Amino acid sequence: VMLKQVADFSPEGVIQAEESGTGFACGFPAVAAVLWAARALGGNAVVILHHSTSADETGDPSEVVGYGAAAILKKVSV
């Protein structure tokens, strides 16, 4: 849920997901702040570069932490 909010370029969604308990991120206020700042600087797209979980490495799905990497872009018309 949290990574979808990032992919949707939604800082409001990041905060809502955390506050509603439907998604979690360490440092979610910083994630939201980066999205707001990028938007203010003209960013208009997010690309998810990678997503994995600790279970991918350990094989133990009982306690999982997710990891995501994203790039914020400014797409322009040429």
Quick check: is 24 in a domain?
Answer: yes
Range of the domain at 21: 2-73
Quick check: is 52 in a domain?
Answer: yes
Q: Would the pLDDT of 31 be above 90?
A: yes
In whole angstroms, what is the distance from residue 39 CA to residue 66 CA? 25
Query: How many C-beta atoms surround the C-beta of residue 16 within 10 A?
Result: 15
Quick check: is 66 in a domain?
Answer: yes
Q: Would the pLDDT of 78 be above 90?
A: no
Quick check: is 78 in a domain?
Answer: no
Helix (H) or strand (E) holding 6: helix 2-7
Q: Is 17 exposed, middle or buried (0-12, 13-18, 19+ CB in 10 A)?
A: buried
Give the count of domains, the chain.
1
pTM attached to this predicted model: 0.88
> Is residue 68 within 8 Å of residue 51, measured between CB atoms?
yes
Q: Average of pLDDT values for 55-62?
A: 93
Q: In the block, which residue shows the tokens 């018309």?
A: 77
